[in-house]
Amino acid sequence: MNLNVHLYPIFIKNNSLIADLKVLQKFTRKRGDTMEISIMNNYYKKRFTFFKWNREQSLTNKVIIAFFMACITGICAQIIIPLPWTPVPITAQTFAVLMAGVVLGRYWGGMSMLIYLALGIVGIPWFAGMNGGYEIIFSANIGYLIGFILAALFLGEISDKKIKARNFTPMLGLMIFANFAIIYIPGLIGLSTFLYFAKGSIPSIWTLLIMGLLPFVLGDLIKIIGAAGLTKAITPKEPYKKID
């Protein structure tokens, strides 16, 4: 008996089935790719619309939005790790500061941090450890708070004007500069002034670094990487002036 004769129809059917499966897989893959592209295009359009909408608001609405960003900063300030050798605690608020400039843009990122500082001075207890009041002006933290305003202004200006800066690598570099230069330079000056009046002598550079910089480097780098990654994900890579 010739088995090939009997197996030939089965072979044909199997080849036909395999061909059908390949066609189905190709169709499914193509449909899946189309759906994925559609979802991503929809996401890109929505994020562009949000940033454009945010920058076209009236003055009143911009103040309200800046106030809400200040509230977010105040909430992040309550995520705190006190350190026994320094009056400056570890907090999560620098993440909010870095994102304020990116989300609100030039002027209004800095304005949100100015609102945060001003309302905290008049009594809202949203500084680290649920503190508030004019005493913050004479505290070890006042320089850092001033640096928050400057850093948010800087990042808002750059991210609004430079589209390429909204990508991860350039934003990472900008945020490292904003964090370790724009925030820490006035922060260390303020800490030095506080220690001078508290102890009657000017602290050494090493003392300042131990109390006001070195303990925060690792945590700051984690927050910076997270903020740069979030910036890459949420910001449009096109001008805000018009929708294509």
Q: What is the pLDDT along the chain (244 residues), one digit of tens a residue?
A: 554 555 445 444 556 656 655 665 665 666 655 666 777 777 777 777 777 777 788 889 999 999 999 999 999 999 999 999 999 999 999 999 999 999 998 889 999 999 999 999 999 999 998 999 999 999 999 999 999 999 999 999 999 889 899 999 999 999 999 999 999 999 999 999 999 998 888 899 999 999 999 999 999 999 999 999 999 998 888 887 643 3
Q: Give the number of other CB atoms < 10 A from CB of residue 65.
A: 17
In a domain, 239, yes or no: no
Same-domain status, 52 and 138: no
Concatenate the DSSP letters of all residues of 55-83 into one string. HTS-HHHHHHHHHHHHHHHHHHTTSEE--
Tell me the sheet residues that pair with 131.
127
In a domain, 88, yes or no: yes
Domain assignment of residue 32, given as a range? 1-56
In a domain, 243, yes or no: no
Same-domain status, 190 and 87: yes
Same-domain status, 94 and 2: no
Distances (CA, A) of 184 to 19, 28, 141, 219, 220: 65, 54, 11, 14, 11
C-alpha closest to that of 179 among 233, 219, 126, 140: 219
pTM over 0.75: yes
Instruction: Compute the distance between CA of residue 62 and CA of residue 47 in angstroms, rounded to an integer.
Output: 18
In a domain, 241, yes or no: no
Residue 161: which CATH number?
1.10.1760.20
- Number of domains, the chain: 2
